[in-house]
Structure 1
Amino acid sequence: MYYTTASTVRDASNAELTLPTRTLASTGFGHRRPEHRHMHMHQRRCCLAPLAPTMRRPSGKGRNEPHFRDGSPVQSLEWTSLHKHGENSSFKTISTVSTAAFFLPSFHEFPSNTSTMKATLTRSARLGRKGHIFGQVLNDTPSIPERELAKQMSRRIKKAEKDERMDITMALTPVKTYMGGFTRPKEFRMGNWLSGGRYLSNSKMYETPHQAAYEPHTIFLLESRYPIKYGIGRTECVDHIVAFCRAADFEAVLRRYNSSRAPSEALESMDNARWPWTPQKKLKRVLYNLHGELKDSLENSEDDLLQEPVVSPNVAADLATSPTPPRRERPERPEDKLKQTRAVVQRHKEADLGTFNAEMISRQEKVPFEVEHTDGTFHHPSGFKPPTSANGFAQSPLPPPDAVDMRPVRQGSNNPDAAVDAEQWKVIRDLEEKGGALMADLTASAMIGVVARTEPRDEKIPTEVSGVVTQGSSQPPQHASGFIPPTPAMARGETEALTHTVISDTSDKDAVEQHQMAVTALRKQYQEAIKEEPFWRPLLALTVATRPMGASIVRLAKSLSRGLPFHATLDNHDRKSTATLGNRFRCLRLQRMEDLAVEMSQLLAGARGGLVGIRFSPEDRGRGLNGEGLDAPIPWEKRVIGVGIGSWYERAEELKETYRLEGEEEVKQKYIPGDKNDAFLVYDIDEKGRTDRTDLPWQAHADSDTLTVPAKLQDVLDEIDELSNALDEERDLIADPIHVLVPAREEVRDAEGYIVEPRDVAPVVLVKSANRDPPPGFHLLYGGQARKHMKDRIDYLNKLHKGELARHFASRLNQVVYP
């Protein structure tokens, strides 16, 4: 077994060099190399050798002494810790003694790059018993591309912000009180960074969030001006959109929603809206009472209706807004102690009937209750004369063509009435009565040696009857029941029995194109109208201090506290009302956002210990982490919530008064008594999101440049995109083979004459036509050389600007709406 040891080497200048060495230990299984069996343990250690073309062996009896490139011996050799082979055995030399040592080639091999030496075991592999391989080659760990390192850093930056958002969302979510034993309390993500946490035990790397996450953001509720036409079965009503953006971009985002650059969901709603110039929906009133009856009945019972309380229970809404009720216990049923005794007695009774075997034999013909007389008539014993005898069902005249046979079909019958004549059955019955046993014997002797077989017929079985005349007019072939088949009896394969496709006057070949043309014309028409009258109008706007707080409110504002959708709280019959459905949705959404705003303000004021893990700057590690942020309350500028209410809303004043009372009674009086500042800043906004207030705290961040990309970084992004697109196009066989121009460079050699590779990668110039000669000072590369140089250039740019690229990728979130 090989072990790795670290050795400390000192040169003449007293400079230290830490090098790993390998020791071949005896395992007791006899797996020693033959050429080293006579050597002692201390003699089989790896040593240093010069970097000369012909390796010389220092003097010594069976021992390799460590030395440097110039042959000078090492002054001291100290052995330190012992590690099993397989761990990180790479080491880096210091600048004074770089590339100074090599292990013996019989044990190890080294790459040409000696600035980072990584030992590789070169012992030949051997296949043992049961498929075990001895002496496997332990290759070096493949390096991670620089592009992936930049993406990893970007994901860590986003992960820090996501953990904060999850902690805030968890604090705003009610605790589950059902299914005890199957659920457990949630854990705050911030606890993973505490002493003994999972992130620290797994050696996770932490990156600070982006600066753009700690500027004010606005959560807005938009309502459409006109009702939206939905699919079949869904009532037309106004639509609502809940999203959030930066507070400085609120007006610009509203302009985007009311333009052709609106998000897909908003654009689709505008396409299906009931615009004033489009056909309007007509409501039809249905009166279930006679004229005057409804009025008289209401006048008579008017006093009774006013006195009696009317209660319309809504179980779904009550369950959605109320805490979870405890599980009800099942009612106890009286125990029947004699139930088992009666069952045993019944089984004993049934056991006595096991010897009987009863079965029913079905009769194919009608039970002949009537009696046949000598004159051919039939009578029941009671004297009743049936209209049809037992065997005379087919002797009745042919019914008219439109007649319907109401007789039930006899299951299992082998003799259909419409296919066999009744006279044949009468003859067979007479022969059976007269011939008796003699006819049976004759029939059996006559059938000896006869083989019966069936042959398929090419034509259809002619079950219909032709030549029927009704009231002097000839009828087409029809069944005995009067049914006229669509295809008469004819040979199979005839053209009359085939169906042909007939080209209609209209075709759906251009249906998609016509629909797109109609939508384009409609959009062109309403784009001019929404410039003056916005289609999407802001109903409510909540402004908070950070982006994780806004993301939490938006995530929870799209349903009720326990995740129940808004439409599920309404009864199925109530959803069919066009006049009231939109108002109900509006009230539900406003109430939900009001509850979230009040609860968020309470937590920021210190309710239930406050928010755990919240940050207000990238330098913060999270409130509560090692006592951070617990020494003082949160400043008013960070915990105040702005409430903008649309002035076009008819109940705007009532809504503003509600927020003022909630902030005074539910926040200030309970958690921060004596504070002079308001918990909510209530103000008006118009249909375009503008306000007259100029003293709002977040208005100072209007000129924030956290999302601005520097010009130098933008050039790097453009170059990376250009090279990546060129490689993708060639891989997908879209473009011609790549030809690039690379600036020519002079070769740089070290003191010993070896070529020193440059640390940077030269820029690449893509060439569309490779027929001309390269200009002076450039090399023309194509094929594999061009692709390799382009990939090296991309990795070099990612390595050089790794931190800047990672911050840029993490600056924007997909959930945020940008102008």
Structure 2
Amino acid sequence: MKATLARSARLGRKGHIFGQILNDAPPVPERELAKQLSRRIKKAEKDERMDITMALTPVKTYMGGFTRPKEFRMSNWLSGGRYLSNAKMYETPHHAAYEPHTIFLLESRYPIKFGVGRTECVDHIVAFCRAVDFDAVLKRYNSLRAPSEALESMDNARWPWTPQKRLKRVLYNLNNELKGSLEKDEDDLLQEPVVSPNVAADLATSPTPPRRERPERPKDKLKQTEAVVQRHREADLSTVNAEIISRQEKVPFEVEHSDGTFHHPSGFQPPTSANGFAQSPLPPPNAVDMRPVRQGSNNPDAAVDAEQWKVIRETESKDGALMADLTASAMVGDVVAHTEPRNEKIPTEVSGVVTQGSSQPPQHASGFIPPTPAMARGETEALTHTVISDASDSDKDAVEKHQIAVATLRKEYSQVIKNEPFWRPLLALTVATRPMGASIVRLSRSLSRGLPFHATLDNHDRKSTATLGNRFRCLRLQRMEDLAVEMAQLLAGARGGLVGIRFSPEDRGRGLNGEGLDAPIPWEKRVIGVGIGSWYERAEELKETYRIEGEEEVKQKYLPGDENDAFLIYDLDESGRTERKDLPWQSQGDSDTLKIPSELQDVLDEISELVNALDEERDLIADPIYVLVPAREEVRDAEGYLVEPQDVAPVVLVKSASREPPPGFHLLSGGQARKHMKNRIDYLNKLHKGELARHFASRLNQVVYP
């Protein structure tokens, strides 16, 4: 926002005081003024592109009352328009915008591996370029200088020498399974009469025929009987309980020792004949700090608790409950004080097991014998060393490996695509101006309402690798065909023709103050070239479609009796070349609208050098800047005052001030050097403002250049 200061000044002695307002806004740099001029040139071309796009977009017919018809940008320049009311400045577009441009649809030769969740299929690219650069642009796409999206697709392609994706075949209707399933579900279907078109008139005048009842079949009664028997069997569980046999072994397993006693891994000793079928003691009700021992705990004193509670029970029978409580408290404290962690594995392994007179190695209570270095397990020995796993690569190593793999792959396919192009032209539409090409490219990337192509397909249909690429190809071809036919109709005068369109920088726009309405658009400006890839299997069908559409939808409706065709149809090979030599845009040859004059190139190089030097000087580590400025004689006016020079002397950058400046030069450094360099930049921008603005507006980011 401009910082302005309103200041009043006296214009008279009485009654005429606050009359003049002075604007103290800081001056705008000359480089910014050149950019403003360049933006106005681009704005004129953008307004034309928006008018063409609006004419090719269907009118909204939904949400009535919440939308209003859009206005053409050209109407802002009409008498009483907004641009004239706001005193907007008009600049003519650049000459490069009014030369033929080609919109091309490229298709990859091999399928592309996309991200997770996206089916592999061939990829497509829609872009546009100058018609004279079409062959060179295709060579760029089939090289390592291709745009980033095309280069990434080539990196992820399924090249013939790379691993191919294996498709899993799913076979249906095996062993008459379809026939059996249909026979099973036949009785569950609702039997309704089918209304055919032949009897539709009779049904409209006659009453509905009565519903016919399906005759009862003997098989139905048999099914009902079987169902009743099955329900009866499921309800009567007596036979099921009678067939249940209890397991002989105990769960959990217990280990038998040589003395005849049993021992559980948790420390519990079940009653047997060896210990007189002793009962398991119960803790006293008033025991202090008694915590239950978990099953499978690593408490080594779990086996001692049985003997301690045996002593407590004997004390209670002899000396009473009081002495039993005191004894229990003392024993608990002693047990807690002498508790040590167990070193055995969990679950506990039991040693000293004897089977048929031979000692067995340590084993689990379930009978599992863990492997040890001293014993063999079948044909293999137990592991006696630690297996060291491969260390996971760090992020830096992974990135380096990926970069090496990509560089290797690019080196391989860079030699292949020279003779066998990866990106092949499927369709190419050539129009007369750049705004027309930009409009078609913008609308070709989706459907008429802006819906993406993949959104029109069902989720299950997108999973088919064999058909997904074909469906995308057909959708894109149909969309570009619709746009080409509608563009040809508008150029022929349909719905009043295109409003605001230009065919040269001197035009203000068709329809502005009646401009361009006195005569139809010449054939050289309204013809559309249609190039179709000869490698496409349906190329002949596609050419016939364009020929019929141009004859029936354009000539017969809007140009009856015209001998010229609306579309010029020709073949394209895999490299984008054609054998026809009579195309209108071929006569123009190599256009020089983008060629930079040598004088302007010198100015651009000098400005770039000074700007880079100032940027480097801002770095604290950079060396101080030194410049040499030619010395000038002082010029004084008639009154003796110094006269400032109208120009700024050129600057010579030097690396150091170790030497004396040559004769006729002054050495400047620090703030003086920066000030002189900035003044030199502003002087060059002021002197060549128009040329620089035209140069900045000559190229668009949307256009692909070789």
TM-score using structure 2 length: 0.71
What corresponds to 2:486 in structure 1?
599
Of stretches 802-811 and 163-172 in structure 1, the one that deviates more from structure 2 is: 163-172
Q: Distance in 2 between matches of 1:288 and 1:591?
A: 34
Q: Deviations over 1:728-778 (max 9, x none)?
A: 111124531110000000011112211111010000000013200000000
Matched, 1:245 2:126: no
Give 2:413's aligned residue.
526
Q: Counterpart of 1:536?
A: 423
Q: Given the superposition, is the C-alpha separation of residues 294 and 648 from structure 1 closer, same or farther in structure 2, using an over 3 Å criterion?
A: farther
Q: In the alignment, what sits opposite 1:577?
A: 464
CA, structure 1 residues 186+263, in 2 after alignment: closer, same or farther (shift >3 Å)?
same
Say which is worse superposed, 244-253 or 457-466, in terms of deviation.
457-466
Local SS of the residue matching 2:424: strand
Q: Output the amino acid matched with 2:10.
A: R
Q: Does 1:736 align with 2:623?
A: yes
Counterpart of 1:173 in structure 2 is: 57
Task: Tell me the TM-score normalised to structure 1 length.
Answer: 0.62
State the AA in 2 paired with 1:233: G
Q: Aligned pair 1:790/2:677, yes or no?
A: yes
Aligned: 1:623 with 2:594: no
Q: Which has the higher helix share?
A: 2
Indicate how the Cα distance of structure 1 residues 237 and 777 shifts in structure 2: closer, same or farther if over 3 A, else same.
same
2:265 and 2:365 in contact (8 A); partners too = no
Distance 1:678 1:235 in 2: 41
User: Does the alignment pair 1:510 with 2:498?
Assistant: no
Label 1:631 to 1:280 Cα distance change in 2 as closer, same or farther (>3 A). same
Equivalence for 2:440:
553
* In 1: Cα distance, 2:292 partner to 2:448 partner: 68
| Cα drift, residue 603 of structure 1 | 1.2
**Residues 390-434 of structure 1: per-residue CA shift (max 9 Å, x gap):** xxxxxx985899xxxxxxxxxxx999888999x99xx9xxx9xx9
How big is the shift at 1:293? 4.8
Q: Which residue of 1 aligns with 2:90?
A: 206
Percent of paired sites with the same residue:
76
1:438-488: CA deviation from partner (whole Å, max 9, x where unpaired) = x9xxx9xxxxxxxxxxx9x99899998786998987879x999x9x9xxxx
For the 8 Å contact 2:535–2:574, the answer to whether it is kept is yes
Q: Retained in 1: the 8 A contact 2:10–2:18?
A: no
Residue pairs, 1:290-329, within 5 angstroms: 290=174, 293=176
What's the secondary structure of 1:510's corresponding residue?
A: helix
Change beyond 3 A, Cα 1:146–1:469? farther
**2:19 is aligned with 1:83:** yes
Cα deviation code 1:158-180 (max 9, x no counterpart): 11111111111111112222233
Counterpart in the other structure of 1:635: 522
Equivalent-residue separation in structure 2 for 1:609 and 1:213 (angstroms): 24
Is residue 768 of structure 1 aligned with residue 658 of structure 2? no
In structure 1, the partner of 2:237 is: none
SS of aligned partner of 2:34:
helix
Deviations 1:127-159 (A, max 9, x none): xxxxxxxxxxxxx22000001000111111111
Q: Which residue of 1 aligns with 2:101?
A: 217
Per the alignment, residue 10 of structure 2 pairs with 22
Asked if structure 2 preserves the Cα contact closer than 8 Å seen for 1:155 and 1:810, the reply is yes
Q: Does 1:42 align with 2:13?
A: yes
Q: Distance in 2 between matches of 1:539 and 1:722?
A: 44
Match of 1:802 in 2: 689
3-state SS in 2 of match to 1:532: coil
Distance 1:554 1:459, change over 3 A: farther
Q: Distance in 1 between matches of 2:74 and 2:292?
A: 82
One of 229, 246, 253 as aligned partner of 2:113: 229
Answer yes or no: is the 8 Å Cα contact 2:629–2:666 preserved in 1.
Answer: yes
Residue 642 of structure 1 aligns to a residue whose secondary structure is: strand
Partners of 2:537 and 2:292 in 1: CA distance: 80
Judged with a 3 Å threshold, the aligned counterparts in structure 2 of structure 1 residues 274 and 629 are, in CA distance, closer, same or farther, namely same
Contact 1:742 1:779 in 2 (8 A): yes
> CA-to-partner distance for each residue in 1:348-384, whole Å, 9 max, x for gaps?
xxxxxxxxxxxxxxxxxxxxxxxxxxxxxxxxxxxxx
Give the letter for the 1:83 counterpart: G
Which residue does 2:565 correspond to in 1?
678
Q: Which moved more, 1:749-758 or 1:731-740?
A: 731-740
Cα offset, 1:671, TM superposition: 1.6
Distance change (3 Å), C-alpha of 1:736 and 1:398: same
Unaligned runs of 5+ in 1: 6-20, 24-40, 46-78, 91-139, 301-395, 402-412, 444-454, 485-499
Given candidates 534, 545, 548, the residue that maps to 1:647 is: 534
Q: What is the aligned counterpart of 1:195 among 57, 79, 86?
A: 79
Change (3 A) 1:216 1:503: same
Greater Cα shift, 514-523 or 782-791: 514-523
Q: Deviations over 1:642-694 (max 9, x none)?
A: 10111111111110110011011111111222222111111111111111222
Q: Is residue 224–residue 240 contact of structure 1 (8 Å, CA) maintained in 2?
A: yes
1:255 partner letter:
K
Q: CA deviation at 1:276?
A: 2.3
**Residues 174, 734 of structure 1: CA spacing in aligned structure 2 closer, same or farther, 3 A cutoff?**
farther
Amino acid at match of 2:514: G
Asked if 1 retains the 8 angstrom alpha-carbon contact of 2:100 and 2:585, the reply is yes
CA distance in 2, matches of 1:174, 1:459: 82
Change (3 A) 1:256 1:3: closer
Q: What is the rounded CA distance, in whole Å, between the counterparts of 1:742 and 1:232 in structure 2?
A: 62
The 8 Å contact of residues 545 and 639 in structure 1, kept in 2 or not, is answered as yes
Deviates more, 1:592-601 or 1:275-284: 275-284
Determine if contact 1:243/1:554 at 8 Å carries over to the other structure.
yes
Residue identity opposite 1:548 in structure 2: P
For 2:453, the equivalent position in structure 1 comes to 566
Structure 2 letter corresponding to 1:238: V
Q: Deviations over 1:91-147 (max 9, x none)?
A: xxxxxxxxxxxxxxxxxxxxxxxxxxxxxxxxxxxxxxxxxxxxxxxxx22000001
**Aligned counterparts of 1:154 and 1:197: Cα–Cα separation in 2:** 23
Q: Which amino acid aligns with 2:92?
A: T
- The structure showing larger relative contact order (alpha-carbon pairs under 8 Å, at least 6 residues apart) is 2
Alignment partners' CA distance in 1, 2:660 and 2:519? 72
8 Å contact from structure 1 (residues 3, 83) kept in 2: no
Give me the whole-angstrom Cα distance separating, in 1, the residues matched to 2:641 and 2:407: 68
Question: Which of 10, 14, 27 is the aligned partner of 1:143?
Answer: 27
Q: Structure 1 residues 289, 533: closer, same or farther in 2, change over 3 A?
A: same
- 8 Å contact kept, 1:663–1:678: yes
Q: Is the 8 A contact 2:610 2:677 kept in 1?
A: yes
State whether structure 2 residue 252 is matched by structure 1 residue 264.
Answer: no
Deviation sequence 1:59-109 (CA, Å, 0-9, x none): xxxxxxxxxxxxxxxxxxxx9x9735xx3x48xxxxxxxxxxxxxxxxxxx
1:591 is aligned with what amino acid? Q
Question: Structure 2, unaligned stretches of length 5 or more?
Answer: 184-261, 268-290, 326-336, 371-385
Whole-Å separation in 2 of the counterparts to 1:479 and 1:82: 109
Q: Is the 8 A contact 2:266 2:295 kept in 1?
A: no
Q: How many residues align?
A: 580
